Structure 1
Amino acid sequence: MVLGVVVLGGVGLFGVSKALKDNDSYAGPSYSSSSYTPTYGPSASPSVATSQPTRTTTRPTATKPTAPRTTSTPKPKPGPTDTDLVLRNKLYKAGAMKAVSCKESRSRPSNVSGARANYANLLKCLNKSWPALVAKSGARFRPPTVQPFSGTVTTPCGTGNDSGPPFYCGTNETIYMNLTEDIGNYNRYPQEYQKVWARMWMLHQFAHEYGHHVQNLTGILAANHRIRYEAPSQALELEGSRRLELQASCFGDIFIGSNKRSYPITGQSLFQWKWLILHWTDHNNDHGDGVNHRYWATRGFNGRNPSVCNTFAVSSAKVQ
């Protein structure tokens, strides 16, 4: 793995496609160096005496040299370790998410403008939902940027295309939403229940990628990448990826569950949401299988609290 940038992909329609290579970029602090040159006064040459010196009658007083006072600099307290950041993050103690009365956009994702209207609406809702919890974790909230794309898209994290899922790039804190996928899903079938499924899929994918942004703000994302980089085997590296992805879905469904009445997620919408969180095939073994995805998505939806999304504190069986 090469240390470079951060990319987190969503999942494909009926499978997982690894959009871009996951890696991370860290730059150390930049120090400016300065030099100090002491300034000396002019050197006075002794003048030649032209007469005999006068004898002094008083003995000069000897002054004891004073030792310089030393001050001890307190050692800086060590920051949280990577294990602390993923396993004991303060976000888990931030409390329940409050509803923000988010309502689904009236526009339908049958075309570019309709899909963009849905993205803008969801971004506005999520930007209201997460700041308080992020602040309680001790982190500073910053809203992400959303970039819809079709075809090929070039990002600081590499190049993606619309044959893969939406993804999050941590380098520029941007969610890249796949217009081709969302519009195609909505227009593919004429049945109303299929269109409801397409809308729920778009909602879940957007909230999942926003979950990665929350991980980024709270230090979980970078810590997870460092842990995975040091993993002694590919199996453990993949397990670390699954823990991260399943948590992103859990975070996303905290938002969906908190606003289920206003959006609303009832009737056919609830049925389709329950269907899609289970029918999730992890071909690359890096996002988690359908059973475990349903487990974590449901915990977020019902619990509405980051404390129920600690995927890093459970056994390997819960993140297969």
Structure 2
Amino acid sequence: MPPYAGRPGGQPQFGWGAPPGGPPRPPRKKGGGAKAVVVVLGVVALGGVGILGISNALKDDPYTTPSYAPTSYPPTHAPSQSPSMSPSVVVNSPTATRTTTRPTATRPTAPRTTSTPKPKPGPTDADLVLRNKVYKAGAMRSVNCRESRSRPSTVSGARANYANLLNCLNRSWPALLARSGARFRPPTVQSFSGTVSTPCGIGNDSGPPFYCGSNETIYMNLSEDLGNYNRYPQAYQKVWARMWMLHQFAHEYGHHVQNLTGILAANHRIRYEAPTRAKELEGSRRLELQASCFGDIFIGANRRSYPVTGQSLFQWRWLIRNWTDHNNDHGDGVNHQYWATRGFTSRNPNVCNTFVASAARVR
């Protein structure tokens, strides 16, 4: 039996690793926009090389494949009675006329029975991914989320950003989840450097951030976020590092939304039964691209207050397009940009149903 079989929530959903060389320069005012160089983002699309302890276990297991983006990572009736015949005879005298009365028949009464209604079958895995009620929950409203004033140049600064984003997302999703019939539970967030032990396996900071459904926890990679921010001196590169952290966190929260609505577990069961490795990978890409779409619903809904404008908007647009899916389990840059932009622009989960999209749209 493969690892995590029967425990779909026990698989990590990975994020992306930082693209080497840093973000693009800002566009020039004259002479055309800056050329965005497509950079290899790491082993996992948008960056994840995967959790070391888990990735080794996943090599021979088509079911336990990490999902990332930006991210990392269960009447019967009583028998009737015969009528009773009880004639009565009256004798008055020897000369009296014998009189008889007609027998009376008592009609049997059958016991009243009640039928127990059969319970309605629950939604199938196909229903959960293809026709989930979250797709009809409506557009997300802004909660006027503002970026933390702390910068991720230190551990405390990065954690302040995580706490701020968690608070904003916990205020943004409950209304939509309630309209979808799902029960909202806030996730836990844990930051780490070095290695971290989780119900989903051992994580390592050489890999991306990830989400573990078993304990509903988002694991953010401090080493990655601090490194991205402190590695580059230019102001625009620090803006890129902040947008990267925002997108990674929102993507992982997107996996939490999938978990609460039943999409995450249903997708894992479908992938477990996939007839081929290619189909299993396609299922992973549909899950990951949707998580980014969900994440960017939040970013789009709060783009004015955060804000995601000017240089921040430029860097966000660059990073959603420029990454490479080495493991073929997260989708290519073109498709990631397509789904991320749909979420950002519409702010409505109805545009994030990657499970009804053509195979070409989730390559």
Q: Place the TM-score, normalised by the shorter chain, in its bin.
A: 0.7 to 0.9
Answering whether residue 233 of structure 2 is matched by residue 201 of structure 1, we say no
The residue aligned with 1:94 is 137
Alpha-carbon distance between aligned partners in 2 of 1:103 and 1:188, rounded to the nearest angstrom: 25
Q: Compute the RMSD of aligned alpha carbons.
A: 1.7
Aligned length: 283
Answering whether residue 50 of structure 2 is matched by residue 18 of structure 1, we say yes
Larger-Rg structure: 2
What secondary structure sits across from 2:203 in the alignment?
Answer: strand
The residue aligned with 1:240 is 283
Deviation of 1:146 after TM superposition, in Å, equals: 0.1
What secondary structure sits across from 1:280 in the alignment?
Answer: coil
Answering whether residue 308 of structure 2 is matched by residue 308 of structure 1, we say no
* Structure 1 residue runs of 4 or more that deviate by more than 6 Å after TM superposition: 63-67
Judge which range, 294-303 or 15-24, deviates more: 15-24
Deviation of 1:70 after TM superposition, in Å, equals: 3.9
The residue aligned with 1:137 is 180
Alpha-carbon distance between aligned partners in 1 of 2:65 and 2:217, rounded to the nearest angstrom: 16
**Which 5+ residue runs of structure 2 have no aligned equivalent?**
19-40, 59-63, 67-73, 75-105
Deviation of 1:302 after TM superposition, in Å, equals: 0.3
What secondary structure sits across from 1:8 in the alignment?
Answer: strand
Alpha-carbon distance between aligned partners in 2 of 1:236 and 1:175, rounded to the nearest angstrom: 27
TM-score, with length taken from structure 2:
0.76
Aligned-partner residue type, residue 155 of structure 1:
T
Query: What does 1:7-86 align with in structure 2 at a 5 Å threshold?
Result: 7-13=12-18, 14-15=41-42, 16=44, 17-19=49-51, 20=54, 21=58, 22=64, 26=74, 69-86=112-129
8 Å Cα contact 1:85-1:223 kept in structure 2 = yes
TM-score, with length taken from structure 1:
0.85
Answering whether residue 241 of structure 2 is matched by residue 181 of structure 1, we say no
1:95-116 Cα shifts (integer Å, max 9, x gaps): 0000000000000000100000
Could you tell me which of 263, 279, 283 is aligned with 2:322?
Answer: 279
Alpha-carbon distance between aligned partners in 1 of 2:197 and 2:109, rounded to the nearest angstrom: 66
What secondary structure sits across from 1:146 in the alignment?
Answer: strand
Alpha-carbon distance between aligned partners in 2 of 1:155 and 1:165, rounded to the nearest angstrom: 14
Query: What does 1:262-277 align with in structure 2 at a 5 Å threshold?
Result: 262-277=305-320
Deviation of 1:72 after TM superposition, in Å, equals: 1.7
1:252-298 Cα shifts (integer Å, max 9, x gaps): 00000000000000111000000000011110000111000000000
Alpha-carbon distance between aligned partners in 2 of 1:68 and 1:10, rounded to the nearest angstrom: 65
Deviation of 1:217 after TM superposition, in Å, equals: 0.3
8 Å Cα contact 1:23-1:225 kept in structure 2 = no
8 Å Cα contact 2:65-2:284 kept in structure 1 = no
What secondary structure sits across from 2:147 in the alignment?
Answer: coil
What secondary structure sits across from 1:143 in the alignment?
Answer: coil
The residue aligned with 1:114 is 157
The residue aligned with 1:42 is none
Alpha-carbon distance between aligned partners in 1 of 2:119 and 2:288, rounded to the nearest angstrom: 34
Aligned-partner residue type, residue 124 of structure 1:
N
1:208-233 Cα shifts (integer Å, max 9, x gaps): 00000000000000100010000000
Alpha-carbon distance between aligned partners in 2 of 1:232 and 1:11, rounded to the nearest angstrom: 28
Distance 1:23-1:316 versus aligned 2 partners, 3 A rule: closer
The residue aligned with 2:33 is none
**Which 5+ residue runs of structure 1 have no aligned equivalent?**
27-62
The residue aligned with 1:169 is 212
What secondary structure sits across from 2:320 in the alignment?
Answer: helix
Aligned-partner residue type, residue 157 of structure 1:
C
Deviation of 1:71 after TM superposition, in Å, equals: 2.8
Aligned-partner residue type, residue 211 of structure 2:
Y
Aligned-partner residue type, residue 11 of structure 1:
W
Alpha-carbon distance between aligned partners in 2 of 1:10 and 1:109, rounded to the nearest angstrom: 18
Aligned-residue identity in percent:
80
